[in-house]
Structure 1
Amino acid sequence: MDSLMNVVQGILNLGPSVMLPIIIFIVGIVFRVKPTKALLSGITVGIGMIAINLVINLLTTSVGPAAQAMVERFGLNLTIIDAGWPTVAAGTWAQPIAAVMIPVILIVNIVMLMFNWTKTLNIDIWNYWHMSAVAATGYIVTGNFLFGILMGIICTVVVQIMADKTAPQIQEYYGLDGVTFSTGSTIGYAMLGIPIGRLVAKIPGIKKLDVNPETIQKRFGVFGEPMVMGIIIGAALAFLGGYDLGGIVEMGMTMGAVMFLMPRMVKILMEGLIPIQESAQKLLQSKYGDREIYLGMDAALSTGAPATLATGLLMVPITLFLAVILPGNRVLPFGDLATIPFFVGMIVPSRKGNILHSVITCTIVMVFALLMATDYSPILTSMAEGIVEFPEGAAQITNLDTGGNFLKWVLFKISELVSTII
């Protein structure tokens, strides 16, 4: 088990910018792309991922301190700290069950493809940790290794189904032909957000209000430009964090840069994916007629859309406000505040880019997420204890990515129920 874990950890330590080119090259060869073309596609995708990560780092390293400043400024004092997804991911990979889950998830995906139970080939191996976290939860709660594997498999199947169901909407809205999102956090939030969004769209007075980047730009001219929207939202976050004038201007320009650069970074990555997707589609059509295949990718690609990024950034202060006023919540949002834009990646397309409907929907979802994260905290604390350093003053830890994730929480409650039986 230790040897397997070392191999898995070694692969994961390469990071997505190295792993993806290798995976894309292999997939390209399988789908009969010429080796030189497959190699160039893999390299282009790797460069695109590096470019996207540069912009994401710019986003997270700016929003994170602003969120921390808001917490300190408003004197928020809650006993469970949101330690962020990296802490929970580290805790997950430290569990012995995590090493087993990598090949299990791959096998489940391949079997589902063979029997035409899914159209999605999940090549986002870095984010397999989401399904592994569910397996680790099942194992910790019940003490049964095989049951933990079963929970991870169920999570994998649901992720595949959701990736299939949402693919047409994702491809149309984001312009990502042949791509879908297979990120566990995004899918978990979508499972609540999509049906809630449909209800929000039926509220009298609200249903006719269409606030998307195009209408904003038409009505407000230059102030509706995505980069200007980013500047305004960034400046507002800095103001709420108590920044001085220089800090407010710097934060505004940074968010404006993120809004401007992200779509261009996504285009670079898509240049590498297009030849693979086209060859895969051609091969499948020659063998199975009109059968489609989607490449399951990281939901970070969704941040290339201004409405998604704007919705995610607006949710940062809203989430902090909810944490203070929500009865039953004991979570201090912190580590995952900067990653909220990834959580909304499937919700915004379901609202056709309507920022108002998306923000209202995400606010309702976040109410549930905070309560679920509170409930999930003992397990996540146990998972990470002795493995990662806890934030100062944290009695327990949780996070919004796993603890506030509807799919993972449901499977956690099933594990609790089974533990009382076995």
Structure 2
Amino acid sequence: MLNAVNNFFSAFGATVVVPIMIFIIALFLKVRPKVAMMSAFYAGVGLTGFGWIITEFTPVVTKIIRQMVKTTGINLPVVDIGWQAGSLASFGSSVGLTFFVFGLIVELILFALGITKVFMASNLWNNFGFMVWGAMAYYVTHNFWLSLGLSFFMLLYTLILAEIQADRWSDYYGVKNATVCSLHNIEQTIPAILLDPLWNLLGLNKVKMTPSAFKDKLGVFGEPTTLGILLGFIIGVLGNLKDLGTLQAWGQILQFSIQLAAVMTIFPLVTNVFAKAFTPLADEIDKNRKQESQAEGKEIDKINDKKRWFLAVDDGVGYGEPATIIAGVILIPIMVLIAFLLPGNKTLPIVDLISLPFMVESIVAITRGNILKVIANGIVWFSLGLYASSWLGTIYTGAVSHYGAAIPAGVVLITSFNLIARPMNALVFAAFISQNPVWIGVCVVVYLVMLFGLRKYRPQIWTYLNKMADKNAGYSGSSEKIEY
């Protein structure tokens, strides 16, 4: 059966499987068949658009970054070749395929029992994030059940983090009753919450570093397209420092400026199409909840509504939002520089740098689009992530090569900056592969405490996060965002 699932997914891919899932879920939510069909089509079109843009832009940005590395002469042995290799390896392992089949069932059970308020089944494609860690654990321990247990445990705490930031994400990105829930992009909720008092103490909350502020103060130079030109120019110059006297260098610099501007201009358009896949579903959830409340003779209070639940949507829904893509692109040269300067780091982020806007969405939502805070949180958390991926370089390389993904010639160790540079996931992974009941038990206890706290104090947690967000100058929600 597992091979049949693998063959099915390999034959059709995410651009077909995800729309099918969305169509089925839409019908289950009693969305009209015509609307459900269009939601499915928009999902397929959006995913295809993302794939085309990233496929075209990845080799361009990779070339520039490699030139920056060559200019500095610094050699880091663990090379980021992108998340795709990890995805392929996760479907090539027995642990990964087992989770793909039974993970969906468990996600439905957890939702039905009320253990989670997030309907994760709508985000089936991103299950590979759990699968790859299980595959790595199995490669190290050869313990099937321990490795599968790790994948399921990661699912459990991912659902908690997704629910914690759900109200903020839904409000900020303007998709009712929706949240992101991928393992590789959700743990940034932790630094966004824990470090916020420090950033406020330093006055970062008073700095109006938001897309709307850029637009008001800089005019045309504050538009995402123009910012793409400027950022592309800076990155292009850094990649050609030794050749600035040549025509070829300036040709590449100016071409990269236009290419980055194109990404920052076109991605929001594709994002808008992709969001149309989930909006009817989210609206139907909202409509059904309002009807239930009217029948009960009550007025909906979304913070205290115990029956409120969230649809897990793909991170691509928020990728093109102005603050998200601007902060992510600004972090590209910063993280390369940090990789060079960080003592003991062995990881060179390259291909997954284009994924940085995906990686900062939770931070953007919690900080209400405060780009300065997003960058500060990213520097702290992703720097710790570089150490995590440096430690895991040998394990990840071995697992990927063992389960069938090709490793580029001349590369000794590989990683995925998006999948593996994850401090919390790395700590949980370390506890499980130790096979020490004490460390595994600590993880379970922490999870149970978090689950109890969320179930008992969810309204208070959401109220606190909203108060945190309100302390930031500038953005106050989707109504004030730059229109796509």
Q: Given the two structures, how large is their TM-score scaled by the length of structure 1? A: 0.91
Paired AA for residue 33 in structure 2: P
Q: Give aligned pairs, total.
A: 419
Percent identity between the two aligned chains: 26
Distance 1:42 1:310, change over 3 A: same
Q: Secondary structure at the match of 1:363?
A: helix
Partner residue of 1:306 out of 305, 322, 325:
322
Aligned counterparts, 1:318-337, within 5 A: 318-337=334-353
Residue 217 of structure 1: aligned partner: 215
| Aligned partners of 1:155 and 1:407 also within 8 Å | no
Aligned counterparts, 1:79-118, within 5 A: 79-118=77-116
Paired AA for residue 298 in structure 1: D
Q: CA deviation at 1:373?
A: 0.8
Q: Distance in 1 between matches of 2:143 and 2:436?
A: 9
| Aligned partners of 1:134 and 1:411 also within 8 Å | no
Q: Distance in 1 between matches of 2:194 and 2:53?
A: 31
Residue 177 of structure 2: aligned partner: 178
Q: CA deviation at 1:176?
A: 2.1
Partner residue of 1:237 out of 235, 244, 255:
235
Encode CA deviations 1:118-137: one digit per residue, 9 max, x unaligned. 22222222211111122223
Residue 131 of structure 1: aligned partner: 130
Q: Distance in 2 between matches of 1:154 and 1:51?
A: 33
Q: CA deviation at 1:263?
A: 2.2
Q: CA deviation at 1:232?
A: 0.8
Q: Secondary structure at the match of 2:206?
A: coil
Residue 331 of structure 2: aligned partner: 315
| Aligned partners of 1:134 and 1:152 also within 8 Å | yes
| Aligned partners of 2:117 and 2:163 also within 8 Å | yes
Partner residue of 2:17 out of 19, 40, 46:
19
Q: Distance in 2 between matches of 1:201 and 1:61?
A: 38
Which one is further off, 51-60 or 175-184?
A: 51-60
Residue 388 of structure 1: aligned partner: 405
Q: Secondary structure at the match of 1:382?
A: helix
Q: Distance in 2 between matches of 1:126 and 1:401?
A: 16
Paired AA for residue 240 in structure 1: L
| Aligned partners of 1:15 and 1:126 also within 8 Å | no
Residue 414 of structure 1: aligned partner: 431
Distance 1:190 1:56, change over 3 A: farther
Q: CA deviation at 1:382?
A: 1.7
Q: Distance in 2 between matches of 1:305 and 1:411?
A: 31
Q: Secondary structure at the match of 1:244?
A: helix
Q: CA deviation at 1:177?
A: 2.3
Encode CA deviations 1:125-184: one digit per residue, 9 max, x unaligned. 221111112222332333221111211111111111222111221122222223211122
Distance 1:44 1:381, change over 3 A: closer
Encode CA deviations 1:266-317: one digit per residue, 9 max, x unaligned. 2222333222223334445656875223221221222211221121112222
User: Is 2:358 the partner of 1:342?
Assistant: yes
| Aligned partners of 2:275 and 2:317 also within 8 Å | no
Q: Distance in 2 between matches of 1:273 and 1:398?
A: 32
| Aligned partners of 1:81 and 1:391 also within 8 Å | no
Which one is further off, 304-313 or 28-37?
A: 28-37
Encode CA deviations 1:194-213: one digit per residue, 9 max, x unaligned. 42344223225x44222111
Q: Secondary structure at the match of 1:211?
A: coil
Q: CA deviation at 1:236?
A: 1.4
Residue 355 of structure 1: aligned partner: 371
| Aligned partners of 2:123 and 2:313 also within 8 Å | yes
After the TM superposition, which parts of structure 1 deviate over 6 Å for at least 4 consecutive aligned residues? none
User: Is 2:421 the partner of 1:404?
Assistant: yes
Aligned counterparts, 1:27-176, within 5 A: 27-122=25-120, 123-176=122-175
Structure 1 residue runs of 5 or longer lacking an equivalent are none
Paired AA for residue 146 in structure 2: F
Partner residue of 2:252 out of 247, 263, 267:
247
Q: Given the two structures, how large is their TM-score scaled by the length of structure 2? A: 0.80
Aligned counterparts, 1:357-372, within 5 A: 357-372=373-388
Q: Secondary structure at the match of 1:124?
A: helix
Distance 1:187 1:9, change over 3 A: farther
Residue 276 of structure 1: aligned partner: 281
Q: Secondary structure at the match of 1:346?
A: helix
Q: Distance in 1 between matches of 2:197 and 2:104?
A: 33
Q: Secondary structure at the match of 2:420?
A: coil
Q: CA deviation at 1:394?
A: 2.9
Q: CA deviation at 1:37?
A: 2.9
Q: Secondary structure at the match of 1:385?
A: helix
| RMSD over equivalenced CA pairs, Å | 2.4
Distance 1:275 1:316, change over 3 A: closer
